[in-house]
Amino acid sequence: MTALPLPPVPEPYHLPFHYGALHNVGVDYLVAPGPVRELLAKRHPGLEAADFDGRACVSLNYQLYFAQYPGGGGITQEVELNVIAHPAFAEDRLPAINYGQYARGYDQTKLLGIARMHVLCDNPLAIDAGTRLYAEPKHPGWFEVELPSPNAASVREHWSFTCRRATLGPDGLRRHDDPVLTVEADLAGLTPEPVDSTPITGYGTDDEGRLLAGPLKVHAPYRFYALDDRTADRVGLTVGAPASGPASGAARDLARLVGDAPAAGVWTYQSAPVAAHHRPYYVR
């Protein structure tokens, strides 16, 4: 077998890409496999949807992250609409696991990964990097969020993000009012489990039809909330109807794949504070 070359790393990018801080919430849905397989065959023909007891898994992944560069820093927000999938040729190499075991990191082959269907992002540089480096279907969007924060009067385990349509022009990101999706997760009172589920294998298919895989390693455990019939209503999903562009396709595919399926699990991660500026006091 001839060894494959590594995908190129175009200028001005450098890999690996290091996150200075990451705040992340994901919501997983177990859904009917038919529509998922149909869309996956169009977007990523080299992949097959994971089978969790006859259901496919659709995952929404919101990220807020900071990166430090030689000339300063940058902040990025994005949301991914993903399908949990594996290379078609590798089915006989996968362990027989259910969704809960997958979410807890039991698949150490890391062949089960995220097939990106749509990625909406508010940073033009990150849109370009994700597209050129990882073959992500990445397009502009902008966000309104409410996240747990130590810089609030009271910290509560409440996550909310709304992604709205945006376009890129010569002056950068232009915001539009059309909502693409809103997720709200009230996790107060639920007990999370620490799970070591990374590296997460992210799959992309380039313009020449080649399948790429890129791992993301988070250097601390996630907090996983397994949901059931009693707790699934802690997570709400509202899908918008953007007027045009890639955001319209993202909303349409999300509505078709997830519909009214309840959330099966939530996973969160927040970088720890590295310093604190304390309350002043009078010297005299």
Can you tell me the distance from the alpha carbon of 151 to that of 143, in angstroms, rounded to the nearest whole number?
20
Amino acid 3: pLDDT: 87
Asked if pLDDT for residue 202 goes beyond 80, the answer is yes
Can you tell me the distance from the alpha carbon of 190 to that of 95, in angstroms, rounded to the nearest whole number?
29
**Mean pLDDT in residue range 83-89:** 97
Percent of the chain surpassing pLDDT 70? 100
Can you tell me the distance from the alpha carbon of 105 to that of 249, in angstroms, rounded to the nearest whole number?
31
**Mean pLDDT in residue range 131-148:** 97
Amino acid 248: pLDDT: 96
Nearest-Å Rg of the Cα atoms of the chain is 19
End-to-end CA distance of the chain: 78
189: left (phi over 0), alpha (psi -120 to 50) or beta: left
Amino acid 22: pLDDT: 98
H helix count then E strand count, the chain: 4, 14
Domains of the chain: 21-270 (2.40.400.10)
Binned at pLDDT 50, 70 and 90, residue 1 comes out as: low
Amino acid 165: pLDDT: 97
**Mean pLDDT in residue range 187-191:** 96
Amino acid 206: pLDDT: 96
Three-state SS at 126: helix
Distance of CA 10 to the CA centre of its chain: 24
Compute the mean pLDDT over every residue in the chain, rounded to the nearest whole number: 96
Q: Please write the tens of the pLDDT for every residue from 14-26.
A: 999 999 999 999 9
Amino acid 153: pLDDT: 85
**Rounded to 5°, angle at Cα 104 from 98 and 106:** 65
Binned at pLDDT 50, 70 and 90, residue 76 comes out as: very high
Instruction: Find all residues with CB under 8 Å of 80, minimum gap 6, and list them.
Output: 59, 60, 61, 63, 114, 116, 118, 119
Asked if pLDDT for residue 283 goes beyond 90, the answer is yes
Asked if pLDDT for residue 44 goes beyond 90, the answer is yes
Lowest mean pLDDT among 29-38, 166-175, 219-228: 166-175
Percent of the chain surpassing pLDDT 90? 95
Q: Dihedral of CA 160/166/171/172: which sign?
A: positive
Higher pLDDT, 153 or 140: 140
Asked if pLDDT for residue 115 goes beyond 70, the answer is yes
Instruction: Find all residues with CB under 8 Å of 140, minimum gap 6, and list them.
Output: 120, 121, 122, 124, 127, 166, 167, 168, 173
